[in-house]
């Protein structure tokens, strides 16, 4: 059998701390610390414990060329090599069973996209599945008498001043501009009115943020889009996948936005209940964001950006920054139309990938945004210290 190592794997020396009642009963502290090796692979969601022999054998197998397993077994225990195969860290060229086939397929998906190893592992293993922020807050409150801020201790100053006040060079303040007027009303919205969002307003924000103004033939077979936001390499690798709950004339469901055609691509219809449940799970149970009439998953097509920036140390950072630019544009376009907008990074990536049918290492969500009509009353906290949004409302 021919095998090779998976494309990207990092091995972490990890300390786990757990509680041992027997040890406590014997007069100890009950706290047990265990050190061990854990493999974090770019094609597997699980943390995979390894023993020392497995670590050594893993480091001796090439990820790039196929090797004969019998020949490897002359230098490493056959049992160890079989375990690494069963754990999906060694990949078989001709998989003999379903799990080996899945490991090979997932590894191939990582290889095809030209990930940088460190970024690939970081992305794969920082995705959430089934995270529930409400539950986490409850658990936090029950596990201590201290408030969140008490546990954190003193914060750093808001600004890291580098010189004495007298040494600073004051700069002229600009005369108020329309941009100032717009940005002053930009306040992250956590209070949405349950009224349906008008279709033309919905379409206007999508166009201004995600719509392509023009398509340029940059080189044979290479098209570049011009949009309102900058984008790494001009590739606009981040696309909008929508969960629509409550928009006039748009049935609840999952959609992809086509930026050149300025059109929705329907992917799956949803009942109201399904749409609400998905909205809640996408944003890890942040109920105030689940109440928005729509959510936009900012999905990066890694394969598109990494086509140009292959195995590149900055590429993953660049696509993350792309998402930030889009998010600010969502805020501005929504604010201009007197709507509220939000972004959250506390998302269940796995549920979003599953809903939209995305291969996690080929294209995946980096954040979720949304917008809608603001509620008349502020129930959930918002950061509006100057009262730019809430003075005219019941605060």
Ligand X SMILES: Cc1cc2nc3c(=O)[nH]c(=O)nc-3n(C[C@H](O)[C@H](O)[C@H](O)COP(=O)(O)O)c2cc1C
- Burial class of residue 95 in the structure, from the number of CB atoms within 10 Å of its CB (0-12 exposed, 13-18 middle, 19+ buried): middle
Q: Cβ closer to ligand X: 187 or 375?
A: 187
Q: Cβ closer to ligand X: 42 or 290?
A: 290
Which is it for the CA torsion 286, 289, 294, 297, positive or negative?
A: negative
d(CA 306, CA 109): 13
Q: Cβ closer to ligand X: 26 or 159?
A: 159
Q: Residue 211 CB, nearest distance to ligand X (Å)?
A: 22
The residues of the shown chain that bind ligand X, judged by CB under 6 A, are 187-188, 286, 343-346, 383
Q: Residue 285 CB, nearest distance to ligand X (Å)?
A: 11
Q: Residue 327 CB, nearest distance to ligand X (Å)?
A: 6
Residues, the chain, total? 395
Q: Residue 286 CB, nearest distance to ligand X (Å)?
A: 6
d(CA 308, CA 233): 8
Q: Cβ closer to ligand X: 239 or 382?
A: 382
Q: Residue 334 CB, nearest distance to ligand X (Å)?
A: 12
Q: Cβ closer to ligand X: 191 or 286?
A: 286
Query: Torsions phi, psi of 263, nearest 5?
Result: -145, 155
Tokens 């995305």 identify what position?
358
Q: Cβ closer to ligand X: 362 or 388?
A: 388
Q: Cβ closer to ligand X: 103 or 316?
A: 316
d(CA 254, CA 201): 19
Q: Residue 188 CB, nearest distance to ligand X (Å)?
A: 4
Tokens (6 digits) for 384: 């509006």
Q: Residue 367 CB, nearest distance to ligand X (Å)?
A: 6
């Amino acid at each position: 059998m021919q095998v090779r190592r998976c494309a990207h794997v990092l091995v972490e020396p990890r300390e786990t701390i757990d509680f041992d009642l027997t040890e406590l009963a014997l007069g100890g502290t009950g706290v047990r610390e265990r050190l061990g090796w854990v493999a974090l692979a770019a094609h597997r969601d699980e943390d995979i414990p390894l023993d020392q022999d497995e670590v050594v054998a893993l480091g001796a197998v090439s990820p790039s060329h196929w090797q004969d397993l019998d020949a490897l077994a002359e230098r490493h225990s056959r049992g160890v090599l079989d375990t690494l195969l069963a754990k999906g860290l060694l990949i078989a060229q001709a998989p003999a069973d379903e799990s080996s086939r899945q490991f090979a397929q997932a590894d191939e998906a990582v290889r095809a996209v030209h990930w940088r190893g460190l970024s690939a592992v970081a992305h794969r293993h920082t995705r959430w599945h089934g995270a529930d922020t409400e539950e986490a807050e409850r658990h936090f409150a029950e596990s201590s008498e201290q408030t969140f801020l008490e546990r954190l201790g003193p914060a750093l100053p808001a600004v890291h001043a580098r010189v004495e006040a007298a040494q600073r060079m004051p700069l002229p303040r600009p005369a108020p501009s329309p941009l100032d007027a717009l940005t002053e009303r930009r306040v992250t919205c956590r209070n949405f009115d349950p009224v349906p969002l008008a279709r033309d307003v919905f379409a206007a924000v999508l166009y201004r943020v995600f719509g392509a103004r023009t398509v340029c033939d940059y080189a044979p077979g290479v098209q570049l889009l011009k949009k309102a936001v900058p984008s790494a390499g001009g590739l606009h690798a981040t696309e909008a996948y929508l969960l629509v709950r409550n928009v006039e004339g748009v049935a609840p469901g999952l959609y992809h936005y086509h930026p050149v055609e300025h059109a929705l691509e329907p992917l799956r219809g949803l009942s109201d209940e399904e749409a609400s449940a998905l909205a809640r799970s996408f944003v890890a149970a942040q109920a105030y964001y689940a109440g928005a009439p729509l959510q936009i998953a900012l999905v990066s097509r890694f394969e598109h950006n990494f086509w140009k920036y292959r195995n590149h140390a900055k590429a993953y950072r660049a696509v993350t920054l792309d998402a930030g630019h889009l998010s600010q544009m969502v805020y501005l376009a929504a604010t201009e139309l007197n709507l509220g907008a939000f972004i959250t990074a506390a998302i269940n990536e796995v549920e979003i990938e599953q809903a939209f049918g995305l291969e996690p290492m080929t294209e995946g969500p980096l954040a979720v945004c949304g917008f809608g009509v603001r509620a008349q009353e502020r129930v959930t906290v918002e950061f509006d210290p100057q009262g730019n949004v809430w003075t005219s409302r019941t605060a």
